Structure 1
C-alpha cells in the first residue's frame, strides 16, 4: 500500500466493539446522504424555479424528484440520458425518510401493471379455438396463440420494470437499487401493504438475477489493495470488529486469507467477504485466531477456519451464537417469575397444577450457583441468581473463577439445547445455526469463553460454536434438515443434550 493509501485508511473509523453504534453499510442508514448540486441542472432551469424547488440537493422538492422518476420511466429508450437517471438517484438521496417512503408507495401503486389490459388479453386468449388438426388451420391458430401470449408476457410486467432495467445498466444504478430495496423492506416492517410487497418481490427477483453467482468475481483481498477497498472491510466487518491497522494487517497477512465477491457494476465494494485462518486444528477460541502470534507456517496448516462469514461454502467455522442470550434471559425471567408465584401460593393443588413452570437448572447446578453467589441478596432460587449475574453491568462474573465454574455447566448445556432443540417453524431458532445447517453442516463443538469481547459476552456469554462441513455428508445433512428439521451433532454436543431431560429431538 502506498503512502497516500495508508493516509486514507488511517482516517477511516475503526469499528467499535458495539456494532449497534456503527452502521454496517449504506443500506442501514436512515439519514440523508449529502450530495453536491447538479450544476448542469441548475443552469437549465429558470432562476426563479431553481430558487423555489432545489436551492440545494438536500432541500430538493419532493415533486421535482417525482417528476424525474416519471421521466426516467416514460421517456423513450433513445431519449433517456444518463443525466435523467443521475437526477433521479441524487434527488432520491436528498429526500427525507418520510418522503422516500411516500415516493416508493407512489411507485408501487401508480406504476404497477395495467390490469384492464391483462384482463382483455386473457379474454382474447380464452376466446381462441384450439387447433383442429389440419396443418393450415393449426398454423394459423398457433400464430394467434403465440401473439397473445407474447402480449400477455409484456402486459404482466409492471411499469416500474422499465425503471429497474434502466437503472441496472446505468453507472452506479445497481447499488442504488439495493438502497431502494433496503428502504422498501424498512417500510414493510411498519405495515403490510400489498402493492409494496409486490414491488419488493419483483425487485428481489430482478436483483437475484443481476447478482447471481455467475456475475460475481472472487477476489483475494490483500494489504496491497486500494485503501478505499480496505476501508470498506473495516467498516463492514460485523462479526469480529477490526480495532486498528495492526489488526487489519494481521488478518490479511501470513496464515490468513480474506476473499470478497465483487460485481462489475459495483467496483471496489465487496458484496460478501469472508476471513480465513489457516490452522493446524479447529480453533476453540476466537482469541487464538485473532491474536495468537506468530501464526503457524502455512505449509503446516491442515484446517481452513472461516471465522467471519457472510455467505459461503466452508469446511469448519468458529461462529457466534447471536440469539442465545436473548432466548436464555427471556426463559430465566419468565421461569423465575413463575417459581416465585408458586412459592407464594399456599395451595399445594395450585403448585402442582402449573403446566408452564420448568426448572432450567439441574439440582447440582442450582446448588453450585447458590453457594457461589452468597453476596447476591434477595435471590430465591438458582435461576434468579443466574439472571442477576448475566444481566449485571460490565459482566463482573467473567473475572471470578468461582462464578465461572458455577455458570459453565448450565450455560454450556442450555446452549446445546438452544442450538439443537429450540426451533421456529421446524428449523433452528438461531439464525447463524440455521444458515450453516441448511448448507449441510453439523454442530461439532460448543466452546466455553471463546469470545470474551463485550459483544460476545452480550450475545452468548462468550460461547462460540464450531460447525463442520464434511464433503461426503453435506448433501445428506442439508436434505434431512430441509425435510424434517433434523440436526446432526457430534457425540460431545449430544452429551450436553442428554444431561437435560432426554428430549426426543436429540440427534445423531
Structure 2
C-alpha cells in the first residue's frame, strides 16, 4: 500500500476543509456586519421616533453580540460608508460661494458632518444607548493602535461625548458608607491610583470624620460614576501616602483640620477618555469643602508621578543628558539593585541626585508640543495649581517604586491664584513652582555642556 499517497490525499482534504471553513467564517463575519450596516441605513432613513427607538435598540443589541472580526468590520463601515458625502459638500460649497449667507452657511455645516454622527445620535435614543455607545468606543480604542484609519470614528465619538457630558449635565454626589452598595463596588473597582483591597479598606477611606469622597454622575449613567476624588483632612501638608492609608491611625477632628488633601482622582469610564471632568470636579469639591469647613487654609494634592521612572531610565541610558551628570549617573546605579529602597544608607546617598532629577523632570522635560512630560502635572497645572513640593519615597508600594521610584508631589490650589496660574500655563506653558522646588534645579544648569 502506498501510504505516502494516502497521507497526501488526507492532507489535501484537510487543507481544503480548513479553507472552506475559513471562507465560511469570513462570509459569516461579512454577513453579520453587513446586516448591521443595513439596519443602520434604515435607522438613518427613517423618520418615525417610535420605530427609530425600536430599531436603535435592535442595532445595539445585535452589536453587543458581535465578536472581534465582525466588530472591526462594523467600525470599517462607520469609517467609510458613514463618513462625509463629498457630493453634498461640493454642492453646499457651490451654494455658499454663489450666495454667502446664514442659510448657505448652515447648509454647508450640515453637509460637512459625517453621517455617523447622526447615526450615533439616533442610537442614543435607545434605552441604555449612552452607556452602549461609551462601551462601543472602548472597543474601538482597543483596535486603534493597529488601525489608524479608524481614528476619524473615534474623533466623532469624542466630539459628541463632549457635548453630551458637558458640565451642565453632571451631578456631584458625596460618597459615604450609606451610598448604595452597587456604587461602592464600582468605587473599589475603578480606583486607579491607590488600590482598594477590600470593603474594610474602602470604609477607612470614606467613613471616618476626616475623610471625604466625591463623584460626578450623569443622568444617562445613573449608578455609574464618571470620576471620583478621595480627600483626607489633615493638619499639615502630607509628604507620604502611607499615613493617609494606614489601617491604624488617629482621626483628625474636622474642626481642627487646616489642610484638605486630594490624594486620589480616578476616571471611571475608559470610553470617555478625552472628555475632561477632572477640572470641574476639583473646583466644585474645593467649593464644597470650603463651605463645610471654612477654617481650612490649605488645599493640596498628594499626586503620583506615573512616568518618572521611565523618563529617568531613558536619561540614564543616554551618553550625555542635560538632566543628570556622571556623579548622578553612578549614584543611580543603585536603582538597579533589588530592595534598594529598604537600605537607609543608600537612600541618603540618593536623595540629592533624585531631587535634582525630579526638579528637571517637572520644570524642564517637555513633550514635542512643549507640555510637561508628566500627565498628572499637565492636569493640575492646567487647572491652575502650583507645584508645591517634591516628596521622594512618598510611595514605597510596589506600584510606587515601579512607576516613580517612590516619588510623589504636592500641588497647591490657592483660590486667589488659580486663574492667574491657569492662564500662565495655558498661554506660555509656564510651570508655576514654589521656590523649594526650583532650588533643586539650579545645580543642573552646570550639567549642560558649553560649546568651545
TM over 0.5: yes
- For residues 400 and 146 of structure 1, the distance between their equivalents in structure 2, rounded to whole angstroms, comes to 72
Superposition RMSD in Å: 2.7
Does 1:462 pair with 2:446? no
Residues 305 and 374 of structure 2 are in contact (CA less than 8 Å); yes or no, is this contact kept in structure 1? yes
Compare 78-87 and 93-102 and name the one that shifted more.
78-87
Cα deviation, 1:96-150, whole Å, max 9, x if unaligned, reads: 233322211211211123221232233234334x8xxxxxxxxxxxxxx555444
**Alignment-derived partner of residue 206 in structure 1:** 160
Inter-CA distance 332–436: structure 2 relative to 1 (3 Å threshold): same
- For residues 503 and 479 of structure 1, the distance between their equivalents in structure 2, rounded to whole angstroms, comes to 31
**Alignment-derived partner of residue 379 in structure 1:** none
Compare 481-490 and 229-238 and name the one that shifted more.
481-490
Does 1:498 pair with 2:442? yes
**Alignment-derived partner of residue 152 in structure 1:** 108
Unaligned segments of structure 1, at least 5 residues: 1-51, 131-144, 336-355, 367-381
- For residues 158 and 310 of structure 2, the distance between their equivalents in structure 1, rounded to whole angstroms, comes to 30
Does 1:172 pair with 2:100? no
Does 1:390 pair with 2:335? yes
**Alignment-derived partner of residue 315 in structure 2:** 331
Inter-CA distance 359–426: structure 2 relative to 1 (3 Å threshold): closer
**Alignment-derived partner of residue 89 in structure 2:** 118
1:411-430 equivalences in 2 (<5 Å): 411-424=354-367, 425-430=369-374
Aligned residue among 244, 248, 251 for 2:205: 251
Higher relative contact order (CA 8 A, sep 6+): 1
Compare 410-419 and 178-187 and name the one that shifted more.
178-187
Residues 54 and 126 of structure 2 are in contact (CA less than 8 Å); yes or no, is this contact kept in structure 1? no
Residues 101 and 183 of structure 1 are in contact (CA less than 8 Å); yes or no, is this contact kept in structure 2? no
- For residues 173 and 249 of structure 1, the distance between their equivalents in structure 2, rounded to whole angstroms, comes to 33
- For residues 256 and 321 of structure 2, the distance between their equivalents in structure 1, rounded to whole angstroms, comes to 52
- For residues 321 and 256 of structure 2, the distance between their equivalents in structure 1, rounded to whole angstroms, comes to 52
Residues 168 and 174 of structure 1 are in contact (CA less than 8 Å); yes or no, is this contact kept in structure 2? yes
Does 1:316 pair with 2:309? no
1:322-401 equivalences in 2 (<5 Å): 322-335=306-319, 356=320, 360-361=324-325, 363=327, 382-383=329-330, 386-387=332-333, 389-392=334-337, 395-401=338-344
- For residues 157 and 402 of structure 2, the distance between their equivalents in structure 1, rounded to whole angstroms, comes to 36
Residues 279 and 296 of structure 1 are in contact (CA less than 8 Å); yes or no, is this contact kept in structure 2? yes
Residues 361 and 410 of structure 1 are in contact (CA less than 8 Å); yes or no, is this contact kept in structure 2? no
Inter-CA distance 411–82: structure 2 relative to 1 (3 Å threshold): same
- For residues 99 and 208 of structure 1, the distance between their equivalents in structure 2, rounded to whole angstroms, comes to 28
Aligned residue among 219, 224, 239 for 1:264: 219
Residues 114 and 158 of structure 1 are in contact (CA less than 8 Å); yes or no, is this contact kept in structure 2? yes
Residues 233 and 260 of structure 2 are in contact (CA less than 8 Å); yes or no, is this contact kept in structure 1? yes
Residues 96 and 108 of structure 2 are in contact (CA less than 8 Å); yes or no, is this contact kept in structure 1? no
Residues 46 and 52 of structure 2 are in contact (CA less than 8 Å); yes or no, is this contact kept in structure 1? no
Cα deviation, 1:369-388, whole Å, max 9, x if unaligned, reads: xxxxxxxxxxxxx53x634x
Residues 426 and 484 of structure 1 are in contact (CA less than 8 Å); yes or no, is this contact kept in structure 2? no
TM-score (norm 2): 0.80
Q: Residue 91 of structure 2 aligns to a residue in which SS? A: helix
- Greater C-alpha radius of gyration: 1
Inter-CA distance 492–84: structure 2 relative to 1 (3 Å threshold): same
1:62 Cα offset (Å): 3.3
1:358 Cα offset (Å): 6.0
Q: Residue 428 of structure 1 aligns to a residue in which SS? A: coil
Residues 437 and 487 of structure 1 are in contact (CA less than 8 Å); yes or no, is this contact kept in structure 2? yes
Q: Residue 68 of structure 1 aligns to a residue in which SS? A: helix
1:430 Cα offset (Å): 0.6
1:476 Cα offset (Å): 1.5
Inter-CA distance 482–278: structure 2 relative to 1 (3 Å threshold): same
- For residues 467 and 146 of structure 1, the distance between their equivalents in structure 2, rounded to whole angstroms, comes to 47
- For residues 413 and 223 of structure 2, the distance between their equivalents in structure 1, rounded to whole angstroms, comes to 31
**Alignment-derived partner of residue 105 in structure 1:** 76
1:262 Cα offset (Å): 0.4
Q: Residue 423 of structure 1 aligns to a residue in which SS? A: coil
**Alignment-derived partner of residue 240 in structure 1:** 194
